[in-house]
Amino acid sequence: MNDLIVLIARALRTSLLPLLLATFVQSAVCAPGAPSSAAEGIYASAPPRLLQIRTLLADAGRQTSIGSGFLVSADGLAVTNYHVISQAALEPKTYRLEYRGADGSHGQLSLIGVDVANDLAIVQLDKRDAPFFTFDKAAMEGAMPKGERLYSMGNPLDLGFTIVEGTYNGLVEHSYNERVHFTGALNPGMSGGPAVTADGRVVGVNVATRRGGQLVSFLVPARFAEALLERVRGRAAAPSELRGEIGRQLAAWQSSLYKSFADQGFRPASLGPYRAPETSASWFNCWAQTNADATPKPRASINSTTCTSDTGLYVASDLNTGSIQINHSYVKSIDLNQFQLASLLTNLSQPRVVGGGPFRKWYTPERCHEDFVSAAVTPAHPPLRAIWCAQAYREFDGLYNVVLVAVSQDDGREALVSRLNMPAIGYEDAIALGKRFLEAVQVTR
């Protein structure tokens, strides 16, 4: 029971839902227009190529987490999610991997390669010449029609192998990572399982579900799995220092993320007399908040906008990082005097470096610098009180969590509090972005 809770807790935390897929065989395509019999056929042929992947505590021999996976080559290579095997990848001395086939076979697994950015991993089974899944051609070319029926397989909640019917809904909009929107019930334990077409070809890999949504699930497009497979084919085992490899992949992915963020640039958004920098990137979710309807009646009005990128990246069970956030609050005094307004602004402007996970495991202490700054001595650029706080990642060279807070200092009765959170960023990138951010804070009176 305990294991089950661990499994559920883990899947919820990461927002990832593993789905176990039972493979179908070609012959499964027998009754067009009768999807349930297609599912039957797919499920019947799946057992030899469908796996449950268990991460075991090496000393205790018991599982600490469970996901799914599927065979993709005759020489025993299988695809799963990175988050299914991350413990074994990061702590190979503490954890080991084991598989259980849907057909009852079981044995050891060795890790061959990972793709952290796309949450994929390739593992090697100790059995050869088993049947395997092939990738769907149309899906690889992105030519899959919306509404196509998909079958996702896995071992939800360790209850046994299941097949879930759902629909392909194209790629997720406003997403930096390419993810297939799959409308179907993915559950914890199915991570790493395949989602296949009615003729049994893999379209994607089960990866996550949306907390609070209904049947809103996500797949990693199959082309990333195939690319990773091509990259690691012929490798006997994973590089010995997989931690370093994971750090390099993380750094490379973050660097391209922030490059793309910088390339998209900032566009001005009006907040009272201020022009605040908002991102032009489409992969941000933006929301507005106000305290206008608060009770008791607020003594200063606070209207804010918050934009968050959906670029959170699973690195370890206790480290999910990479979600950029831009927040602006326009504060205008109703009946507060200047000192009282300053107290309110003090509360709003505390720099909280956002880094998930236990501090001492992942980060160095935070170092801060604050000063009065002006981008230019013109009426359009208000003087700012700027606070910069940064912490380094202990394990990953060249990555830092940075937060920049700027409070406009041009008027004692109103102010703009702007905040830019840049988790897992290179220091020079952070400085360049911070500079552009400060320059874009403007005022028109």
Q: Which residues bind other proteins (CB under 8 A)?
A: 296, 299-300, 336-347, 349-351, 359-360, 363-376, 383, 385-388, 390-394, 397, 400, 407, 409-412, 427, 431, 434-435, 438-439
Supply the minimum distance, in Å, between the C-beta of residue 396 and other proteins: 9
Supply the minimum distance, in Å, between the C-beta of residue 11 and other proteins: 29
Are 265 and 284 within 8 A, CB to CB?
no
Measured from the CB atom, is 50 or 390 closer to other proteins? 390
Are 115 and 125 within 8 A, CB to CB?
no
Separation CA 49–CA 164 (nearest Å):
17
Separation CA 255–CA 318 (nearest Å):
22
The neighbouring-strand residues paired with 287 are: 306
b (16+ CB within 10 A) / e for 405-434: bbbbbbbeebbbbbbbbbbbbbeebbeebb
Supply the minimum distance, in Å, between the C-beta of residue 353 and other proteins: 8
Measured from the CB atom, is 287 or 339 closer to other proteins? 339
Supply the minimum distance, in Å, between the C-beta of residue 231 and other proteins: 29
Q: Write out the two tokens for 113.
A: 């390669």
Supply the minimum distance, in Å, between the C-beta of residue 393 and other proteins: 8
SS3 247: helix
Separation CA 424–CA 422 (nearest Å):
7
Measured from the CB atom, is 177 or 391 closer to other proteins? 391
Pick the closest to residue 271 from 302, 292, 297, 299 (CA basis): 302
Bond prior to 382 in cis (omega within 30° of 0): no
Supply the minimum distance, in Å, between the C-beta of residue 234 and other proteins: 33
Supply the minimum distance, in Å, between the C-beta of residue 351 and other proteins: 7
Measured from the CB atom, is 287 or 372 closer to other proteins? 372
The neighbouring-strand residues paired with 78 are: 71, 123
Measured from the CB atom, is 168 or 388 closer to other proteins? 388
Measured from the CB atom, is 11 or 331 closer to other proteins? 331
Measured from the CB atom, is 65 or 254 closer to other proteins? 254
Supply the minimum distance, in Å, between the C-beta of residue 292 and other proteins: 16
Measured from the CB atom, is 12 or 432 closer to other proteins? 432
Measured from the CB atom, is 50 or 443 closer to other proteins? 443
Residue that the structure tokens 């236990």 belong to = 358
Q: Which residues contact 445 (CB under 8 A, 6 or more apart)?
A: 273, 379
Are 181 and 201 within 8 A, CB to CB?
no
Measured from the CB atom, is 62 or 367 closer to other proteins? 367
CA distances from 63 to 2, 15, 52, 60, 84 (A): 10, 20, 11, 9, 12
Measured from the CB atom, is 56 or 407 closer to other proteins? 407
Supply the minimum distance, in Å, between the C-beta of residue 143 and other proteins: 47
Separation CA 264–CA 92 (nearest Å):
40
Q: Write out the two tokens for 223.
A: 């082309």
- Helices 82-90 and 242-264 cross at an angle (nearest 10°) of 130
Cα Rg of the chain (Å, integer): 25
Q: Write out the two tokens for 295.
A: 């009770």
Supply the minimum distance, in Å, between the C-beta of residue 354 and other proteins: 12
Supply the minimum distance, in Å, between the C-beta of residue 373 and other proteins: 4
Largest distance between two CA atoms of the chain: 78
